[in-house]
Amino acid sequence: MTDAPGKRLSLPRVLAFSSLSVPLAGVGLPVGVYLAPLYAREVGLGLEMTGLLFMLLRFWDIFTDPLMGFLVDRYRSPWGRVRHWVVLSVPILGLATFFVYMPYRGAGPAYFIGWMLLFYIGFTLLQTARSAWVPAIARDYDDRSRFFQWSEIVSTVFMLLLLALPVILDLTGMASGRFAQVAAMGWLLLISLPVTAALAFFFVPDDPMRGDTTGALRFQLRPFLAALRNKYLGRILAMELLTGTAIAVTAANYLFVAEFVFGLSDMMSSLILMFFFLTAVLALPFWLKLAARTEKNIAFRAAVLMSMVSFGIYYIAGQIGGFWPLMFGALINGAAFSAPIVLTRSMTADVVEYQAAQTGENRSGIYYSLITSAYKIGNSLAFGVGYFIVGQVAGFHPSQANSPESIHGLLVVFCLLPAILYIGAALVSSRYPFTRAMQQEISRSLDPRGPEVMD
């Protein structure tokens, strides 16, 4: 792998960086789709208790995420600014993964809380370090989208492998049931962690970002408060909160909806999810091309509005039931799924560069930690409030006999909440003021020659 200084990183190096999305995907998908139902039903915590514990743990991350962001910004090493944090995350996340993904039947709240706390610490450290790497290695407005695009592609490919596991286990007769499915996902995560960390460590440069003139920084509340007051980041945080909540509501209830509303087995549900994520990765270049020809917030708005429409299709499909109606809704929903995630992170890199040009400080760790905090707040609300609404308002309980009214209530929650949240995200994005022209002006102020780009 060879790169000239100042030019865009070659594709092999981008893929080495993007490989970190493999363990992150191994955390994201199973937690949202498989772990919560497993602990609620098979382990025996119950729907409301599982939702409450997930919500409390995610709210705890509101405090730990900014701390992780500060640590990434503050403590550098001879290896660079973020490499050592990626290495440190491997044993932390690996140990917690073993116990979180392989629980015993009847494990109580203390078991769940203890190992999930360590699990989220390792996950946050890896996610924050990876995201904070991008502003320093991406060269311009659209190159930032390139990094997150490839990260999302790698993430989706690995998620397809995870989703194939229940189908493979079922067809081969090697194992069956949620415990076996989640354990297999855990082993894939454990294997991928050290491999991808090594790829990123050895093949991705870790040089200072243009405009970053500071060394080690002291812990102060001022940068956090300034970040929250930043009118650009504030809009991105609101967009992240709304889309994160919508995605988590969908993930947390998908298996229940597929089984009780559409009458599908776990194997068929996983097959639909495979096509959902395959559609997401195939459609992503379209959204980034739209962002390149217009603005990132315009592409974001188009994607979330398409997602909103897809939940109307889900509701109509639920009146019919069966495999193909759910598949149709999933394909429409999947086509718009990845774009908001990629675009908000690319927009954050623009804001990090703007802040560095103004102050000489690279606060990408803090900025991305706030982004992940916003996403996790959305997740906590989806699990805590969402499961409470499903259980107490809709009257649905997965381990009990449910009336047609309670099953319909589950479908209403599954469709209505995300649709409202996506509309809110579209409204916020319409007021996002940062443009391509602004970023190009900032880039020229940092380097009058402008960014050098490979042919």
Query: What CATH number has the domain spanning 17-204+219-445?
Result: 1.20.1250.20
- Split at pLDDT 50, 70, 90, the class of 450 is very low
87-119 per-position pLDDT tens digit: 999 999 999 999 999 998 889 999 999 999 999
Residue with tokens 């994005």: 429
* Mean pLDDT across 285-313: 96
For residue 380, what pLDDT band results from cuts at 50, 70 and 90? Answer: confident
The token pair at 238 is 């609101």
Which residues does 215 contact at the CB level (< 8 Å), separation at least 6? 76
pLDDT of the residue at 46? 84
What average pLDDT does this structure show over 40-63?
A: 82
Interacting residues of 188 by C-beta distance below 8 A, sequence separation 6+: 26, 158, 161, 162, 165
How many C-alpha atoms does 33 have within 13 Å on its Cβ side? Answer: 26
Average pLDDT over the chain, rounded to whole? 86
Would you say 351 and 226 are in contact if contact means Cβ atoms under 8 Å apart? no
Q: Return the higher-pLDDT residue of 177 and 306.
A: 306
Lowest pLDDT segment from 210-224, 275-289, 291-305, 386-400: 210-224
How far apart are the C-alpha atoms of 348 and 92, rounded to whole Å? 27
- Residue 379 vs residue 281, higher pLDDT: 281
pLDDT digits (tens, 9 = 90+) for 198-257: 999 999 999 876 655 555 455 566 777 777 788 899 999 999 999 999 998 898 889 899
317-344 mean pLDDT:
96
Predicted TM-score (pTM) of the model is 0.77
Q: Give the residue-averaged pLDDT of 295-320.
A: 97
Span 59-83, mean pLDDT?
A: 83
pLDDT at 355 over 50: yes
Enclosing H/E stretch for 257: none
Q: From CA 243, how far away is CA 251, in angstroms rounded?
A: 12
What residue spans define the domains of the chain?
17-204+219-445
In degrees, to the nearest 5, what angle opens at C-alpha 250 toward C-alphas 247 and 252?
105
Model confidence over 111-165: pLDDT tens digits?
A: 999 999 999 889 889 988 998 899 889 888 888 889 999 998 998 888 888 878 7
Does 400 or 415 have the greater pLDDT score?
A: 415
pLDDT confidence band for 58 (50 / 70 / 90): confident
Whole-Å CA distances, 16 to 11, 161, 189, 204, 411: 9, 19, 17, 7, 41
What is the spatial distance between Cα 145 and Cα 256, in angstroms, rounded to a whole number? Answer: 34
Range scoring the smallest mean pLDDT among 41-45, 170-174, 322-326: 170-174
Cβ neighbours, 10 Å, residue 393: 12
| Cα–Cα distance measured from residue 253 to residue 429, given in angstroms and rounded to the nearest whole number | 27
User: Nearest CA to 155 among 273, 21, 20?
Assistant: 21
Q: How far is CA 179 from CA 104, 105, 112, 190, 381, in A?
A: 9, 9, 15, 16, 26
Other Cβ atoms less than 10 A from the Cβ of 3: the count is 14
What is the distance between the alpha carbons of residues 200 and 184, in angstroms, rounded to a whole number? Answer: 25
Q: What is the DSSP string of 176-205?
A: -SHHHHHHHHHHHHHHHHHHHHHHHHHHS-
